Structure 1
Amino acid sequence: MTYSIVARDPETGQYGVIVASRFFATGALVPHLRGGRCAVATQAFVSPIWGMEAANRLALGERAEDVVPDLVARDAGQAIRQIHMIDMAGRIAAHTGKDCIGWCGQISADAVSVAGNMLAGQAVIADTLAAYLAHLHLPFGPRLLEAMAAGARAGGDKRGTQSAALVIHQSEDYPWLDLRADDHPDPLAELRRLYEVAQERFVHVAKALPTRDNFSGTTDRRGIDSAIKEADAARRAAGIPSKSFATELDP
């Protein structure tokens, strides 16, 4: 009932997971990431334990191709589970249980994997991957969104789509961006709106947050305020209205 992408952006080192499903709040259970180290998506008859353990082990340096068979060997429910992941070296591994509901499967290229189950057909993941590779010129977030939109046009989840999520990590275990549409008639379109809203203010604040290497982060907010004002002025000059539901502040 789900299709997803796990990927690492070679330009920024960001790891990301994007997922869409005919399941409520898919973002609560499917994505598992560790900053600068790995991305995992666990789905089908979902086991969040698979996702958490896999992410923890990959973050400690284990190889994706070693983690997946160990999870499978230990779980009596492995035939109804699906997982795919990318580790800190960019290696990809996946499992689609034999009893996952068709169409189901996985496909990958350099630093990106697409997997799904209960889909309209194989074209869903094929078109998703093709669109990702065709949009390598885009920033990581929009690239993931374009790829998922291509999968939706190919039929997506054969029962329709209820929820979607986009999670991107930079160097830290907290997300740089964590967007969810938990119950929406067009959740991928809602993710795109949320991504655009995030560019107005949130991403500028995110740059100032503390990190492992900078425990205090940025404590002078003048640079943040200046960046927000510049972004707002550029948007207004281009005649682009805010996509936020919040009341716009005066320039």
Structure 2
Amino acid sequence: MTFSIVGRCAETGQLGIAISSSSIAVGARCPWLRAGVGAVSTQNVTLPALGPQILDLLESGSGSAAALDKALASNGYSQYRQVTVIDQHGATALFTGGEALGVHHAVAGEQCVAAGNLLSSTRVIEAMVEAFEQADGCLADRLLAAMHAAMAAGGEAGPVHSAALSVVGELVWPIVDLRVDWADEDPIGELDSLWQAYRPQMQDYVTRALDPTKAPSYGVPGDE
């Protein structure tokens, strides 16, 4: 049903998540990030509340494993959940309940954790971690490389229909927040295309927000 990777860039401190699912609009429920705090993916039978709860615990000083354990214990039904966590320092935690769907797996790597359920094989998750660790480029590039590796390794047992990519840096809002809420085919390819279109404009939007007097032209009629 879902596979994802949470990761951190050791050079910039950016935190990010890439995720895909057979369900509609996975980006609306599963990825949770907070600048300078951490990133959480909550999936399988998703409880969105786990994301902000774990981030709150991280922000208050809990370690990744302790934050994950406390949030799961306070909500019940943990046997249905699959959750991955990375904090601002790169410390990771992961959990997969006994009622996780189909073939499932979770692996922590260097500055990343990948997890999935209803997979074609456990190799899918291992391929994601390897791709992230070996990829060049910025954090978004490396997260997408992991997603492509997952599909090349077999992906889900059935078709995927939605995908999302989110990255936070020093600002309180995401510098990348891209979603494909439904595609009949290849939502990860569509997500990658969105990223390639957004990448050259990303800094412009930051500049406009922080100092409108230095804002680049929008390039639309009436903009001078």
Assess same fold via TM > 0.5.
yes
Q: Write the distance in 2 (CA, Å) between the matches of 1:203 and 1:101.
A: 40
Q: Write the distance in 2 (CA, Å) between the matches of 1:77 and 1:172.
A: 34
Q: Which residue of 2 aligns with 1:220?
A: 213
Q: Write the distance in 1 (CA, Å) between the matches of 2:86 and 2:128.
A: 17
Q: Which residue of 1 aligns with 2:88?
A: 88
How far apart are 1:11 and its partner, in Å?
A: 1.2
**Which AA in structure 1 matches 2:87?**
D
Structure 1 runs, 4 residues or longer, greater than 3 Å off: none
Q: Write the distance in 2 (CA, Å) between the matches of 1:89 and 1:200.
A: 28
Of the two, which has the highest radius of gyration? 1
How far apart are 1:208 and its partner, in Å?
A: 4.0
Normalising to structure 1: TM-score of the pair? 0.83
How far apart are 1:58 and its partner, in Å?
A: 1.3
Pick which of 88-97 and 68-77 moved more: 68-77
Q: Write the distance in 2 (CA, Å) between the matches of 1:147 and 1:220.
A: 38
How far apart are 1:82 and its partner, in Å?
A: 0.5
**Which AA in structure 1 matches 2:7?**
A
Q: Write the distance in 1 (CA, Å) between the matches of 2:146 and 2:190.
A: 15
Q: Write the distance in 1 (CA, Å) between the matches of 2:61 and 2:88.
A: 7
Q: Which residue of 2 aligns with 1:150?
A: 149
How far apart are 1:101 and its partner, in Å?
A: 1.3
Q: Which residue of 1 aligns with 2:196?
A: 196
For residues 96-141 of structure 1, the C-alpha deviation after alignment (integer angstroms, 9 at most, x for no partner) is 0011012112101121100111111111001111111111x21111
**Which AA in structure 1 matches 2:178?**
L
Matched, 1:44 2:44: yes
Higher relative contact order (CA 8 A, sep 6+): 2
Matched, 1:132 2:100: no
Normalising to structure 2: TM-score of the pair? 0.92
**2:172 counterpart SS class:** coil
Q: Which residue of 2 aligns with 1:241?
A: none
For residues 187-233 of structure 1, the C-alpha deviation after alignment (integer angstroms, 9 at most, x for no partner) is 11111111111123243222442xxxxxxx213135x34xx89xxxx
Structure 2: runs of 5 or more not aligned: none
**Which AA in structure 2 matches 1:61?**
G
How far apart are 1:142 and its partner, in Å?
A: 1.2
**Which AA in structure 2 matches 1:44?**
N
Q: Which residue of 1 aligns with 2:56?
A: 56
Is contact 2:15–2:88 with CA below 8 Å preserved after alignment? no
How far apart are 1:163 and its partner, in Å?
A: 0.1
Q: Write the distance in 1 (CA, Å) between the matches of 2:180 and 2:166.
A: 12
How far apart are 1:73 and its partner, in Å?
A: 2.2
Is contact 1:106–1:125 with CA below 8 Å preserved after alignment? yes
How far apart are 1:174 and its partner, in Å?
A: 1.4
Q: Write the distance in 2 (CA, Å) between the matches of 1:70 and 1:164.
A: 28
**2:49 counterpart SS class:** helix
Q: Write the distance in 2 (CA, Å) between the matches of 1:200 and 1:173.
A: 21
Is contact 1:34–1:56 with CA below 8 Å preserved after alignment? no
How far apart are 1:75 and its partner, in Å?
A: 3.1
- Provide the aligned C-alpha RMSD in A: 1.7
Q: Which residue of 2 aligns with 1:183?
A: 182
For residues 69-115 of structure 1, the C-alpha deviation after alignment (integer angstroms, 9 at most, x for no partner) is 22232333110111010112211011100110121121011211001
